[in-house]
Structure 1
Amino acid sequence: MSARTDTSEDFAPRPRVLTRLLLPAALLVLAVLAAVAVVRLPPHLACGGLGSGLVERGGECIGVTDGGPAFLPGPEELHEEYRRIQSLIKAENDRVADDGRPSVKVALVSTLTPDTGGPLSPEQILHSLRGAYVAQMRANHGEEARLGDPGLQIRLHLANAGKVQDKWEPVVEELIGMTDDRAPLIAVVGWGLSVQDTEDAAARLSEAGIPMVSSVASATGLNHSTIPGLVRITPSNDDFVRALAEYADARPDLSRAALVLDENSEDRHVNTLTEAFRAHFGDRIVSEEPFGGTTVGDEYRYVEFFNIVQNVCGTGAEMVLFSGRTANLHDFLDRLRGRYCTERPVTVLFVETGPVIAEEDVRPLDDSDITVVQASANDPRWSLEEDSGAPAGFAPFYRAHQEYLGGQGLPAELSDGYALAHHDALMTAVLAIRSQYSERRGELPSSAQIRPALFQLKDGNSVKAASGSLQFPAARAGDPGGRPVPVIEIPDRGTGHPVHHTPLE
């Protein structure tokens, strides 16, 4: 018998047999891929899909975008407003990318997924985005010399570090990586909270040589002195309390103070506020009344101030220096209205970026002989009227807001100060960037060259910002010099809202 000749055809399975062999393997592969998808994909898919630049962390979408996909925090009724402003930012960024002129990126880092119980409200963050967008449009389209050479266009990117800025690490690393882009990231603005995470994140950006302009984080010392390259728009807590001390000096009926202070050791805002009250009110403080307050990252909890109010009455103090967060101020005022010493007027001194008393709460304060005196970053009475006391830069900002956003929310949304602060932060960064662009005759500057340029914004190069004329002399270590600090009485007792100005040295 002759041997059989083997061929590949002889040993090839029939098509049906091949299908039976491959099908289980294919199903196994699909099952594995599905399992991987279940483990890996949802964090990305929940935040705009793969390639969005965002990832879900602890229920929040974390990362950096150019305006899309949109962050949608807070109640649903605000979502359309959030979509609108971020779509406008993205449209402008896309236009700049196609424009052909050189451009650079500036990132706004903030708590872009706030909730109603967080340290910053969804409304405040919405106003922040609108203010920054107005500054971007003025920079790219305005013909105002005050914003530098529009030959260098500005792309505005949005970086979410979490509702209490505790998820900053991947965001900061992404921002650092963007410094090598063809249109490089060259500065960061924002930073809404005076907390340790803000300091740590800013320190990491500083190590990478990226300059920063903070908007509303006011803790004393959170500036160039501790984090090289960090300047800010807001007055420091020390500046705010100086303004309150000047107000008290002009009131001979205010000679004794009770310092009501939050003892939370991790809250840098409260700690430096307490230090400032002690420094500037000194011997006028006749008692200190500590409490355990609600700090950043905590869920709000009501604080019972009954015993503290009793003690305040017992000291005979005419004023209370309240060193705490806004939520706890309202708890204190609720209890203070029912104090046993109602025959004696009480003035409560406080610090916040914008007004803290709602219109419907003014009458109950008046009926209880309570006056809240607040050092603020802006005055809600500022308007286009010549006698409103508004800074020279306020009217151009207001008109630009009308032009680019249709005046949406004006004038009410300006009262909390967040639109102005973020507009002014981006405006300051743009001026420093473009000054170096002009000096280098059209060559893109590096982020390292922007840092010293921030401290050249003084004297004849001061920033004509919406919140006032800002200067950054080296002696102020990044805090704004010559900046107005309005002092607001609620109810208005007729003092005319005195304005303190921060020192230049």
Structure 2
Amino acid sequence: MPHPLRYRVFYTTRQKIVTSALVLALLACGTVYAVKRLTTPEDRSCAPGVARPVGSEECVGVSGDGFDFRVGELTDVARAIARENGKLTAGEYATVALLLPLTSTSPGLRTKVLHEVQGAFAQQYEANNRSNSQVPKIRLVLANTGNGNAHWRTTVADLKAMTGAPHHLRAVSGIATSSTPVRQAVTELTRAGIAVVGTTITADDLANGPGRTPFPGLARVSPTNSDEAKALAHFGRVDAAKAVLVHDARAGDHYTDTLKNAFSTLLASSPYQPHLFTSPKDPTDEGTTANTFRQIALLLCTTRADTVFFAGRHTQLRQFINALGARGCTHRAFTVLTGDEGSYLGADGRLDRRVLGAGLTVRYAALAHPDAWRAAPGRTVPKTGGSPAAYGRFLSMMNTIASREVGPVGRSELSDGQSIIGYDAMATAVHAIRQATVQGERLPAPEDVGLQWPQVTGSLRVEGASGWICLDNHGNPYNKAVPVVELTRGEPRFVQIAWPEGKPPTGECLPPRKP
């Protein structure tokens, strides 16, 4: 006997016609849907001006409307920036972009990025609300280059298209790492006539100088690696006969390369050849360098050296400190001196803090520190090169943006110096934009902003929270204050301000003539 369902659905002619029609309709709908999916581009937008590049889930682009790039730590400060931007009138503001790897996967870098954004916003709010109605007003936008700055081309292309209305982009700040992608991004921006103010870039070759201008319109608020090295040498009065260099042999990292060269110059008379290690392509990876550092620590025990200059990134620095703490010759005392990457270790949970102070001293050249310009018992504040008043103004603004009236902006932490440097870089950009605005005009021409750097000196210097910012003719800070900070078992401890020239600048703060 035929199956009853088959009989009822497929047996009669009418039923066959109805069933066939239904099947054809379903096939037609499926075909239309498939064709539509294949021919309609995938919507990869995240927010206005921000999208996911092909092959990536990161949100890349530029936004000043409160979008946090799906980074929860940035939500509060991104919304606060949007509220301030929302108060501005079109045609009466200049835009400054903060170019950073906002979606970095490195916990240390994400923390520093947050602090830098907070500092930049504090200066934006001050410029718009505490500057005696100076013009133009300042609009702040966040520009994400992606993890490892991998998508800098997309974001830089967006920025280059923003110099006209309605954005009127006049400067780009941020520029936080001395890496090849950052160098390429700075090259593209400055060639397009956009002024750039670097925050924490310190590589000597990511700068202009006598007879060379690879980045026309670039200024920096942090000292070069050479200046950091000279400041450390003046501070420590190091005997090269008892000092050794440990450095990264991986090529292409402008920070480690130029720091190595600066330290090598200081140790030209050292009897010891440098000890080398090679970090992974991504220096935030652990790699196998910890094995190498165990061997280097054993070799150091066989020398007469008591000072180690370390040229490398923070992950490898932490591994080296841990290895040196476990050295066989614990009766021997060592001092490790390094660049500003040491500031990452203040919040690094993998650092073995038990070894600090137990015959091992680790000090680094910080870019800024909250205690540098605050008087304390037994420590005097230099009369020139910076001031407690300038730092106090910064602190007041950080408190203001954390208030309910303006913020909140997320948890603020000042000890790593990032908020201070972000604030100072933004202040330098605002200073140049307003200096370039001629009488009777609301906005300066884009190319005029970067021409202001030679005049940011003397009485026209920027009174930064990190110290005076007196730029030379090439946009580099002259004899900038370098706080020396020591890692401890608790919070990093400010030790003393050091100076590249061996002493603070004169009250005029005028860079000397260079050949």
1:308 equivalent in structure 2: 296
Of residues 68, 71, 74, the one that matches 1:70 is: 68
DSSP 3-state at the match of 1:348 = strand
Opposite residue 319 of structure 1, the aligned amino acid is: T
- TM-score, normalised to structure 1, is 0.84
1:161 equivalent in structure 2: 145
Whole-angstrom CA distance in 2 between matches of 1:231 and 1:352: 19
Quickly say closer, same or farther: Cα 1:410–1:90, change in 2 above 3 A.
closer
Whole-angstrom CA distance in 1 between matches of 2:129 and 2:376: 27
Asked whether the 8 Å contact 2:481–2:497 carries over to 1, the reply is: no
Quote the offset at 1:460 in angstroms.
Answer: 0.7
**Is the counterpart of residue 484 in structure 1 residue 487 in structure 2?**
no
2:156 equivalent in structure 1: 172
Quickly say closer, same or farther: Cα 1:412–1:349, change in 2 above 3 A.
farther
Whole-angstrom CA distance in 2 between matches of 1:245 and 1:367: 21
Quickly say closer, same or farther: Cα 1:284–1:441, change in 2 above 3 A.
farther
Task: Mark the runs of 5 or more structure 1 residues left unpaired by the alignment.
Answer: 1-18, 74-78
Quickly say closer, same or farther: Cα 1:427–1:498, change in 2 above 3 A.
closer
1:6 equivalent in structure 2: none
1:467 equivalent in structure 2: 466
Of residues 93, 97, 100, the one that matches 2:85 is: 93
Asked whether the 8 Å contact 1:109–1:158 carries over to 2, the reply is: yes
Asked whether the 8 Å contact 1:213–1:231 carries over to 2, the reply is: yes
**Is the counterpart of residue 264 in structure 1 residue 261 in structure 2?**
no
Whole-angstrom CA distance in 2 between matches of 1:197 and 1:411: 29
Whole-angstrom CA distance in 1 between matches of 2:157 and 2:49: 16
Asked whether the 8 Å contact 2:373–2:387 carries over to 1, the reply is: no
Whole-angstrom CA distance in 1 between matches of 2:276 and 2:28: 68
Matches within 5 A, 1:196-211: 196-211=180-195
Asked whether the 8 Å contact 2:424–2:465 carries over to 1, the reply is: yes
Quote the offset at 1:465 in angstroms.
Answer: 1.0
Opposite residue 461 of structure 1, the aligned amino acid is: L
Quote the offset at 1:31 in angstroms.
Answer: 3.3
DSSP 3-state at the match of 1:199 = helix
Whole-angstrom CA distance in 2 between matches of 1:126 and 1:446: 31
Quote the offset at 1:126 in angstroms.
Answer: 1.0
Quickly say closer, same or farther: Cα 1:408–1:102, change in 2 above 3 A.
closer
Matches within 5 A, 1:445-456: 445-456=444-455
Quote the offset at 1:362 in angstroms.
Answer: 8.2
Quote the offset at 1:479 in angstroms.
Answer: 1.5
Opposite residue 92 of structure 1, the aligned amino acid is: E
DSSP 3-state at the match of 1:121 = helix
Whole-angstrom CA distance in 2 between matches of 1:297 and 1:55: 25
- TM-score, normalised to structure 2, is 0.82
| Range moving further from structure 2, 221-230 or 259-268 | 221-230
Matches within 5 A, 1:205-224: 205-224=189-208
Quickly say closer, same or farther: Cα 1:443–1:379, change in 2 above 3 A.
closer
1:135 equivalent in structure 2: 123
Quickly say closer, same or farther: Cα 1:312–1:412, change in 2 above 3 A.
farther
| Aligned Cα root-mean-square deviation (Å) | 3.1
Opposite residue 62 of structure 1, the aligned amino acid is: V
Whole-angstrom CA distance in 2 between matches of 1:397 and 1:192: 20
1:281 equivalent in structure 2: 267
**Is the counterpart of residue 403 in structure 1 residue 400 in structure 2?**
yes
Q: Deviations over 1:136-180 (max 9, x none)?
A: 100100136xxxx53311111111011211211111111111112
DSSP 3-state at the match of 1:314 = coil
Of residues 373, 387, 399, the one that matches 1:391 is: 387
Asked whether the 8 Å contact 1:353–1:416 carries over to 2, the reply is: no
DSSP 3-state at the match of 1:200 = helix
Quote the offset at 1:121 in angstroms.
Answer: 2.2
Quote the offset at 1:237 in angstroms.
Answer: 0.6
Asked whether the 8 Å contact 1:54–1:64 carries over to 2, the reply is: no
Quickly say closer, same or farther: Cα 1:274–1:152, change in 2 above 3 A.
same
Higher helix fraction: Structure 1 or Structure 2?
A: 1
DSSP 3-state at the match of 2:222 = coil
Whole-angstrom CA distance in 1 between matches of 2:321 and 2:85: 46
**Is the counterpart of residue 348 in structure 1 residue 350 in structure 2?**
no
1:500 equivalent in structure 2: 499
Whole-angstrom CA distance in 1 between matches of 2:409 and 2:62: 27
Asked whether the 8 Å contact 2:120–2:423 carries over to 1, the reply is: yes
Quickly say closer, same or farther: Cα 1:353–1:141, change in 2 above 3 A.
farther
Opposite residue 262 of structure 2, the aligned amino acid is: A
Asked whether the 8 Å contact 2:205–2:254 carries over to 1, the reply is: no
2:171 equivalent in structure 1: 187
| Range moving further from structure 2, 155-164 or 487-496 | 487-496
DSSP 3-state at the match of 2:59 = strand
Of residues 59, 75, 88, the one that matches 1:83 is: 75
Whole-angstrom CA distance in 1 between matches of 2:426 and 2:419: 11
DSSP 3-state at the match of 1:128 = helix
Task: Mark the runs of 5 or more structure 2 residues left unpaired by the alignment.
Answer: 1-21, 506-510
Aligned residues: 463
Asked whether the 8 Å contact 1:402–1:408 carries over to 2, the reply is: no
| Range moving further from structure 2, 173-182 or 400-409 | 400-409
Quickly say closer, same or farther: Cα 1:419–1:358, change in 2 above 3 A.
closer
Matches within 5 A, 1:101-140: 102-116=92-106, 120-140=108-128
DSSP 3-state at the match of 2:246 = strand
DSSP 3-state at the match of 1:284 = coil
DSSP 3-state at the match of 2:393 = helix
Opposite residue 426 of structure 2, the aligned amino acid is: L
Whole-angstrom CA distance in 2 between matches of 1:458 and 1:121: 31
Asked whether the 8 Å contact 1:172–1:204 carries over to 2, the reply is: yes
| Range moving further from structure 2, 440-449 or 169-178 | 440-449
2:354 equivalent in structure 1: 364
Opposite residue 162 of structure 2, the aligned amino acid is: M
DSSP 3-state at the match of 2:214 = coil
